[in-house]
Each structure stands twice: as structure tokens, then as C-alpha cells.
Chains A and B, each alone.
Chain A
Amino acid sequence: MITSLVGFALAGLLLPILTTRFGPRMFVVAAAVPAAVFVWLLFQVPAVTRGETPTELHPWVPQLDLAFAFRLDALSLTMALIVTGVGALVVLYCARYFRRGEDGLGRFSGVLLAFAGAMFGLVVSDDIYVLFMFWEATTVFSYLLIGQYTAKRKSRGAALQALLVTTAGGLAMLVGVVILAVESGTTRVSQIVADPPQASGLVTVAVLLVLLGALSKSAQVPLHFWLPSAMAAPTPVSAYLHAAAMVKAGIFLIALLVPAFGDTPGWRPVLVAVGVLTMLVGGWRALRQHDLKLLLAYGTVSQLGFLTVVVGYGTRNAALAGITLITGHALFKATLFLVVGIIDNRLGTRDLRKISGLGRQAPLLAVVATLAAASMAGLPPLLGFVAKEAVFTALLEDAEHGAPLGFVALIGVALGSVLTVAYTARFIWGAFARKPGVEPAEFVHEHVDFLVSPAILALVSLALGIASPLLDPLFGRYADSVAPLSGEALAASRAATTAGDTVAIPDAAHLALWHGVEPALGISAVTLVLGLALFAARTRVSAVQSRVPSWIDSARGYSRVVHLVDRAAVRLTRLTQTGSLPIYVATILVVLVAAVGTALALVGELPGSFRPWDSPAQLPIAIVMGVATIAAARAHKRFMAVVLVGVTGYGMAALFALQGAADLALTQALVETVTLVTFVLVLRRLPSAIGQDHGRRHRIVRAVIGVGVGIVMSVVAVVALGSRIAEPISLQFPELAYEGGHGRNVVNVLLVDIRGWDTLGEMSVLVVAATGVASLVFLSRRSSDMPRLGPETERPRWFARRTRMAEAPIEATASAGATPDGAAPSQEKGNQRTPWLLAGKTLAPENRSIILEVVVRLLFHSAIVVSVYLLFAGHNIPGGGFAGGLVAGLAFVARYLAAGRFELGEAAPIDAGKLLGFGVLFAGGTALVPIFFGVDALTSTWFEAELPVIGHIEFVTSTLFDIGVYLVVVGLALDILRSLGAEIDRQQEEDHGDESSPDDGIPGAHEVNTLSHTPHEPTPDTPAATETDAENATERSPR
């Protein structure tokens, strides 16, 4: 069975390609898949009839007891035969129905085959969750198939309606399914049915929930309205999904569960009431339809109601009648839909008021349709007749045994049958009769190949009607599994068994065309006569029908609910999505305060104790930081605020140092410096005053939220500290670091070894941030080179030489040593001497500070040496890749600040992006190398050696990882300088229209800041713009 499912899946995947390429004739090929499964199933019939149950088991999630478990008992075999048989014929029919090049044909073909697979899976699944999965899959495929004509709003609406109604039922069903599976302690349907859980309120609720899903799927009142809407689907879909297969899924589920749960309180009354009501409503509405397809759709609703009553009834003979009716209905309704499809295809209409005299034009079609219709009306010798006789017999028998529900059901289905006869007559009359005053149809040619599928189905209806006793053993097998007999008959048979008589069950019904003259035949005859009378009086009937108020229509209820949900959603969105970022942030923070505050309040007493300070020095630092914070919050000048925040940062460094966190103090101080510089680089372009944003009220609200967060977080700190009662894991870290990581600096070993993956992730964040910075500033592209004194200088030889020379120190740093600057010029003998201070070429004299340039130039290499020392020594003393990288970054910052962007290009003529990427790759690579030696990633090892001159050296491999960190930090610093420094310089020059010189990094102070580079919207805030001018005049570049 899994093979069949795989076949369906493959066909569903391949067919779209084939049909798109070769057109609809590929459906003929595709039909082979369901046909093959059908044939295989036919071969199983004898075994299943003998009482065997072929099973298959493919474990899926054993821990959850989930498995692709399949079984073929009489019921699922019958359903599977219908699904694959009708499926094959419908797919075949599609070959003639669709035209080549139709929109979405590929999708349609794939989904249709996938649906057939899902439906097959549904009926053969023995795992209740897998069954549910297939159940929902059919819903989704049905959605896609109903919405096939995507351009039509009606089609889309109908698809959505069917999806919403059936998935809503499906969700209810899922709850029921879970309860049932848990209560039974198994997910196998066969085991649940064989050994149902003890009756209890919970089980009753579960069963009713499952019924809700089944009834919504099988379009029962009041959820029936989706089925007529679903007629927006192409007619083959209606024939297959909405007549033969999918709508039967609910009926199938009822039939599957009735042996175990037929006696659950509420089961029978609900199903009889809903079924009878559905049968009557459907039939009543079918009588009003002018569209032949809608007529059939309401007829289907009616018949599904009929099936619900019979299948859910729960006696042996009702079950036998039910399974026969399922088969009969699938055969005749699919036929009729296919006939309507042909009519629509040929005439361009399905409106019975526009069709006249078709019977004479297309006699074969008329014969096929009449055969199927006769089966629907329950005329002998068709299968529909056999089924209906069986139903009447079963219900009558139970009613005679004194079951009042049997009477209700019998009267209900008899009335329903009257309506069925009437709308059947209306269908045949509407489709084929000649009507006065209507122009006869021009049905040019009857294509026999188009008729193949409906004709086969109609003939099967006929053949099975005549040969119905042959069905008896198979269907009887299912019927016997439901209940041996009903009521008194059961008691009688039990009595007979105990008395030692033959176990022959006296009134077990059997399928046959002719049972002799008995009450059921009489009921059939009466319904037939009444039905025809109803049809004859159709004008009067429709007059009565039009008097029924139109508000009795559950489809309206649906659209009202959907509309209300839409409106509520819009209201809620409008309420919450105000578009204001501060309000969003405030919401988050208020939730934080409220939620965490509540949780803390519930803690009750605060654990932990207080002391004024760890060391007295904390007090002055804290005072300075606190004052700076409050001042920063109130500051109106941008730079003032930045510096004040910087004060808190340096304060943090001091606090770290006091606590004994040397690495933190070092890193914090360095980061704070680089951050300050970065701020200055950007903010020089912005006005000095921070824009006034809110009024007084807003400020108060902000302050209140701020204080709230502060209070809550301080309580969090106290509680968290007080909760630390276990011995910290970090007590073992020093030993781990020294023995395992071979380093004395525990924090550094933690970063590069013990928690190395964290650091790798952090490096990735840095790379992303750096890339973000670059792409935000370089609007179009990330230039690969630092700005250099390029070709404009007309000194190409010099350029090439400088490149070589400037690269030297970088290579040197990477290979763990520093080359003295003096070494480089020595290679340049014979060349033109280059200026040692580039700023002479690139900066206006009034912007230069020779002393600063010289000092920076002299200190630069020392700084690089220090950074490399920090990198390598960091394993044992405070330092490491982060601190080292930051020091190197600061060295570049100094070069840039002292002498401008060309100087930066000379100092680091290397693409920051490459540095970043290489750093991450290097660290990641080092992390992975140990795997090749058969140990875990990031495992470190060390080498020691006695070298002649240098002495004893040690090298730990995790230092390599730290080199990666170092490179990433340097890359980040360079990227920031290049983007926020150099590129902003360049853009500033551009903004000022000063294109004359790459020589001059500084625009004239007199120039007006035009808005010419703001193509999007010239904002109205000219005051801000003038402020910028003032800013430019005073602040200028920081160099």
C-alpha cells in the first residue's frame, strides 16, 4: 500500500511537467496509476471476503507510536476501490475535458493525482494520526482544486469557504482523535475499534468532536453550504471529490467507528436528526436549482444526509445497506456530474432553462444519464434500488422491534426519497427534454471517447444492481463487524446460541434485486409515485418554495461570521499597529515591568542581604556615572550627550577593575574609546542639537517607564543574586583552563577554548554588523580598496611601490612579528623618494598638525607591536584577541584622525571585508581542524620547545583561534573607519560640490549645504538644514 502511495506522489510530482509540455492527453497516462492500484485491490477482494485483513506497517516515529500502518478490511477495501476506480475514470475524462494550454493545467493535474493518493491513504490508514494527516491533506488539495480558476473571485471564495469549514471541523476532530488515542492507549484504529475505551464523559465528548469533523467534511446541515459553493471547481473535480470520494470521508469515518461507538450517548440521535434534516434540506433545495450542477450538488448534500442516517444507525442490516448505498451513490453521482461536464463543455451552459431537446441530439449521453438517474431515484434493476430496498428493510425491521428512532429515520428517509425522485426527474427533464419556447440545443457531435468514463460508471451501476448478491459476501463481512443483529433479534440469537441451536442468524439481510413482495418494496413504490407527482406539480412547488423566507440560509451565517472576524482583525490591527516605534518599544517595556514585576511580587520575601558597597571606591565612581546618566538623559546637545554616555562607559571599566575583572576593564576602556571616535565621525554631519521630539507629557511617561524598568531590574538583581545557592560551575574553570587549555588567563581560555563556539557566533555578529555598516554607507557598492593616492597623482610607479611597502607591516603582524618601518624604505634604493607624511599632499595646510602627524606616525608601529603582544600574551595575562584587535584598530584610528583618509589607505591597504571573512574562516577552520585528528571540534593542544636563542617557548593551538578573533576586530575597526570616516568625508565633499580635488579633504567653510543629494523627499525642516551648516562651520572634521 505504501508502494501505491509513493506511486501517487510521484505521479503528482511528474504530471505537471508532462501536462504542461504535452497537453491534457497526458491524463490518459496518469489514469494508469489509479487504475493499476484498482486492479491490485481487485486481486485482494477474495482474501478480504474470506475474512483476511492484509496489513502493512512502516514505523515512522516509534517514540510517539506513530506509524504508516495500513490495513484492508471490507470497508476500506470497498472505499479504496471506489477511490481508485472512479479516480482512474475521472482522470481519464480530464483528457477530453480540458484544452491544451489551459491556465494552471499542470498544477491541476498534479494536485488531482495527489488528492487521489491522499484519499487512498485516508481509507487504508490504520494509524489514527496518519489518517488525520491524510484527512487534512484532502482538505488542502480540495482547496487547491476548487480554486482552480484562480482568476474568478467566486472560485477563490468557494475554495476558502470549503477550507475554513472543513478545517474548523477537522480541528475539533483532532482534539477528539487525541482524546480517543490517549484513552485507548493506542493509535491503531483497528485496536481502538476492537477494544474501545471505557465509556465515560470524556470519551463521549471525544466521539462527538470526531463526529463534528466527519459531519463538516460530509457537508451536513448546518455546515452543508460549502459543498454547493464548491461547484465553482471544474466539473471532474466535482465528480470525484464532491460526489465519490472526499465528501464520503466523513461517512467513511462514521462507518469505521460505528462498531465501537454506535452506542455512545448522543451518537444515534445526532446522526439520525442531522442526517434526516440534511436529506430533506438538500432535496428541497435541489428542486429549486436551475443550474444542473447545483441541482446535483444539493442532491449530493441530500444523499450524504441519507448516508449519515443509514451508516450511523449501527445495526447489522443498516450497515449492510449503508456500504451498498455508499457504492451506489459514488457510481451514479460521479456519472451524472461527468454528464453535466459534457453538456457544459459542449453547450457552454448548464442552465436547464436554456437547454432544450438535447435528448434527441445526443441519445447516447441521454441513455447514460438516465441509467445513472434511475439508480439515484432507486429504480430497479440498478444498484441504487438494491441499496434503497436494503435501507428500508433495515430501518423497518428496527422500527418493528420498537425503536422509536427507527420510525423517525424511516419516515425521514422515505420523505427524502420522495424529494430524490422529484429532483432526479427534474434533472433528466432539465437536461434532455424539449421545452416549449426554448431554442433546441445545437449539440453537433457526440464524441464517444468523451463518454467512456460516464458510460463505464453507469454500466457498473447496472451490472452491480443485477449482480448484487455477488457483493453480499464482501459487504456482509463489514456488516457483521458492526453488530451481529439489532435489539430483540440479538437477544433471540443469543438465546438460540445458549440453547444449543444453530447459530444461523434468522434475519440477517442479504443483497438482492428481488426479495419478493415485502413492505420495503411498497415504500419504494409509494415514494416513486409521490416523487413523480411532486415533479409534475413543479410550478406549484416552486411557488411554495419562493415563499420560504430567504434568511433561512446558513451560508449567510458563514459570511457574517467571516465578515465579523475580518472587521475585528482590522480593528485590532488599528489599535495595536500605530506605526510609532516609541509606542512599540514602550509596550514591550511595560509588559516587561508588568510581567516580571508580578512574578517578583509573587516571590514574596526578597532573598539575600545588602551591604553598602564592595569597596568604598565604588561610591564615587557610581556617583559620577549616575550624574552622567541623568545629565545625558537631559542633554540637548548631541556631543554633550555622547560624552556623558562615554563617561558611564569608562566608569564601567573602573568598576570592572575594582571587581577584579581585568580583561573586562581593558576591553571596556578600549571599546569605549573606539565608540567615542565612531560617534564623533558620524555626528559631525548632524546638527549639534538633538531634535525636540515630545512634549512634557511624553517626557513624564518616558520617565515613569524608565524608573519602573530600573526598579524592576534592581529587584531582579537582588533576587537573582539571592537565588545563587549552588556552587558555581566556574570554580572548576581555573583548573580546566590551566590543565586543559594550557592558559592561565581563565577568561581568555573560556573565550577561545571552553566556550569557543560562542565566540565564533559573536564573530559572525561582528562581521554582519561591519557588513551592514559598509552597505549602509557605500550606497551602491562596497569598494574593494581603501582610498589611495591613485592614478590621479600621475605617479604610478610610486603607487605600486607604496603598495608593496605598506603591506609589509600587515604581513608582519599576521606572522607574529613586527618589521621595523625602517626596513621597508631600504628596498627602495634608486627610486624616487616618497613623502613620509602623506598629508602634505592631501590636506590643506590650515587643517594640518605636523606634530600630531609625526607623533602618530612614530607611535603607530609601536601600537601594532603592543596589539600583537596583547594577542599572544592574552592566554596567560589580561589581553587576548579582542583587546589586541582593538588596540590595532585604535592605531588605525589615530592614523586616520591625524592625516586623513589617504593616510588610512596607506596604513592599511587591505580590504576590510577580506580581513573579516578571513578572520572568521581562520577561527572556524582552527576550530574544525581537531576533527581530522579524531577529537571533538575546538579541542586544543600545545607545543613546547627549547629554541637556541629565544629560550623556552610554548604555543597553544587555541591561540590560532584568537588570531581569527583579532583579525575580525581589526576588520571591524577598519570597516568603520573606511565607511563612517573616509567615505563620509568623500560624500561630504560631494555634497558640497567640491569636485576639484582629491587633494583637499576639507571643503571650504563658506559653502552652503545644499539638499541636492536627497532625491527622495526634500524635507520641509529647513531649520535643521541650516543648523547643519552651522555645525559644518564650527565642528568640521575632527582632524
Chain B
Amino acid sequence: MSASLVLILLMAVLYAGGVYLLLGRSMTRMLLGFLLVGNATNLLILIIAGPAGVAPIVADGVEPSEMHDPLPEALILTAIVITFGVSAFLLALIYRSWRIARADVITSDEADVAVGGADSSMDDEESNEAEDGSGEDTEFEGRAEAKTS
């Protein structure tokens, strides 16, 4: 099957713009990028679906091969609605972030950074090693019956 050059170019532009926005630090930009990438992906499915046709509605005198492929349509329809739900969720996240931190910008995750700097804590643990050395030669530190009974 041959591809429509216009649609492919448009899809590339949508992907490029979407990814550019997605890589920003602003949550609003990321959401917009998400929407653009969503559109681009729907377009990808549409391109792969093949050439244009009549709406896939059974009617007299319309052959299945003349119709636009209904399966990708169903997939895209699902994708559209889910994208809507997810972007509503992301919007709520943006709002929440703004309300709590007054920030629309994603900063570096402190927990992640802390993991990276963890080897000092390991040294600490090693220095504790001597701490329970007193009971080296017994499990019955200070409670042997010889001393109590």
C-alpha cells in the first residue's frame, strides 16, 4: 500500500514537537507534549490503516473493501478517550503541584539524588562492626545460668 506523504510529514512534525515539549521541565509543557504525541500516534495508526474509504457503516451496495478499515478506527477511538482521561489526571496533578508548591516545574527527585550519594552511609555501617564484639564467644551474654542460679 502506498503512503500519503503529507500525513507522514505531519506525523513527523507532531512527534518532533510533542517530544520537544515532553522533554521540558514545565509540567504544562509536558502535558501538551503528551497530547501532541498522542495525536501523532493516532495519526500513525491512521496511516497504517491504509487508504481512505467510505465510513464503515453497512449499507447496500458498499463492499467491505471500499470501507475505511474499522479495526484501527476502534483502536484510535479507544486511544482518544483514554488520552482524554489521562490528560485530565495530569491536569489535576499540575493543579495539585501548583497548589502545594506553587511550582509548575519539575525539580530533580531528591530521593533519587540521595540514592546516588549513598556510599557514605555504607562506611558508617562498617564502623559499627566493633559494636557487638563483646559477645563474640557466647550466645548467652550475661544470662548464663551459672551466674543466675
Contacts and interface: CB of A to CB of B under 8 A. Distances in A.
Interface string A695-727: 000000111011101110110111011101000
A648 interface: yes
- Indicate the member of A149, A722, A730, A745 with the most B CB atoms within 10 Å: A730
Given A668-B80, A675-B84, A1021 B102 contact: yes
A540 interface: no
Given A579-B108, A707-B16, A769-B88, A345 B145 contact: yes
A387 to B, nearest CB: 31
B132 A721 contact: no
Contacts of B74: 747, 750-751, 755, 758
Interface string A338-355: 000000111111110010
- Indicate the member of A99, A577, A744 with the most B CB atoms within 10 Å: A577
Contacts of A693: 24-26, 29, 105
B124 to A, nearest CB: 12
Interface stretch (A163-171, A206-214, A270-278, A436-444): A436-444
B78 to A, nearest CB: 5
Contacts of B100: 1014, 1016
Interface string A623-656: 0011001101100001001100100110010011
A428 interface: no
A671 B80 contact: yes
A969 B43 CA distance: 23
Contacts of B78: 751, 758-759, 762
Tier of interface size on chain A: 35 or more
B47 A721 contact: yes
Contacts of A721: 1-3, 47-48, 50
A349 B135 CA distance: 9
Contact of A746 (B44, B56, B102): B56
Contacts of B55: 660-663, 878
A633 B84 CA distance: 20
A784 to B, nearest CB: 19
A686 interface: yes
B132 A154 contact: yes
B94 A769 contact: no
A819 interface: no
Contact of A664 (B10, B32, B58, B73): B73
A1019 B58 contact: no
Contacts of A344: 138-140, 144
Contacts of A613: 4-7
A625 B112 CA distance: 38
Interface in B4-57: 4-26, 28-29, 32, 35-36, 39-40, 42-44, 46-57
A445 interface: yes
Contact of A641 (B10, B29, B108): B29
Nearest to A975: B88
A835 interface: no
Contact of A776 (B50, B87, B96): B96
B2 A609 contact: yes
A932 interface: no
A347 B145 CA distance: 7
A706 B71 contact: no
A814 interface: no
Nearest to B135: A152
A766 B52 CA distance: 30
A293 B135 CA distance: 13
B88 A611 contact: no
Interface in B106-132: 106, 108-113, 115-119, 122, 125, 128-129, 131-132
Contact of B128 (A153, A345, A671): A153
A751 B25 contact: no
Contacts of A630: 13, 17
Contacts of B57: 662, 744-746, 876-878
Interface string B54-96: 1111110000110111110110111011111111110111111
Contact of B77 (A567, A589, A703, A751): A751
Contacts of A766: 81-82, 85
Nearest to A882: B81
A579 B8 CA distance: 35
A718 B8 contact: yes
Interface stretch (A303-311, A677-685, A804-812, A922-930): A677-685
A39 interface: no
B36 to A, nearest CB: 6
A645 B139 contact: no
Contact of A610 (B2, B28, B70): B2
Given A882-B81, A972-B85, A633 B112 contact: no
Contact of A580 (B2, B104, B108): B108
Contact of A770 (B4, B42, B88, B142): B88
A616 B128 CA distance: 77
Q: Classify the interface of chain A: helix, strand, loop or mixed.
A: helix
B119 to A, nearest CB: 5
Given A291-B136, A574-B117, A629-B14, A664 B77 contact: yes
A441 B89 contact: no
Contacts of A685: 95, 98-99
A731 interface: yes
B7 A622 contact: yes
B14 to A, nearest CB: 6
A663 B91 contact: no
- Indicate the member of B43, B69, B70, B128 with the most A CB atoms within 10 Å: B70
Contacts of B12: 710-711, 713-714
A660 B67 contact: yes
Given A663-B77, A750-B70, A645 B35 contact: yes
A642 B32 contact: yes
B7 A579 contact: no
Contact of A618 (B7, B28, B113, B128): B7
A772 B92 contact: yes
A572 to B, nearest CB: 10
B3 A718 contact: yes
A348 B52 contact: no
A494 B23 CA distance: 82
Interface stretch (A113-121, A475-483, A733-741): A733-741
Contacts of B135: 152
Contacts of A724: 1, 48, 50
A766 B77 CA distance: 13
A678 B88 contact: yes
A578 B139 contact: no
A735 B64 CA distance: 8
Interface string A564-606: 0011001001100111111001100100000000000000000
Contacts of A729: 71
Nearest to B67: A734
Nearest to B78: A762
B113 A579 contact: yes
B58 A737 contact: yes
Contacts of A549: none
A830 interface: no
Contact of B14 (A648, A690, A734, A735): A648
A740 to B, nearest CB: 12
Interface stretch (A7-15, A190-198, A410-418, A976-984): A976-984
B25 A611 contact: no
A773 B92 contact: yes
A1024 interface: yes
Contact of A348 (B4, B67, B147): B147
Contact of B64 (A652, A734, A751): A734
A746 B70 contact: yes
- Indicate the member of A663, A687, A738, A755 with the most B CB atoms within 10 Å: A663
Given A641-B32, A766-B85, 10 more contacts: A610-B4, A618-B4, A629-B36, A632-B36, A664-B73, A671-B80, A702-B23, A705-B23, A724-B50, A876-B57
6 contacts: A347-B144, A348-B142, A350-B138, A608-B3, A728-B71, A750-B71
Closest CB pairs A-B (n = 3):
A348-B144, A579-B112, A574-B116
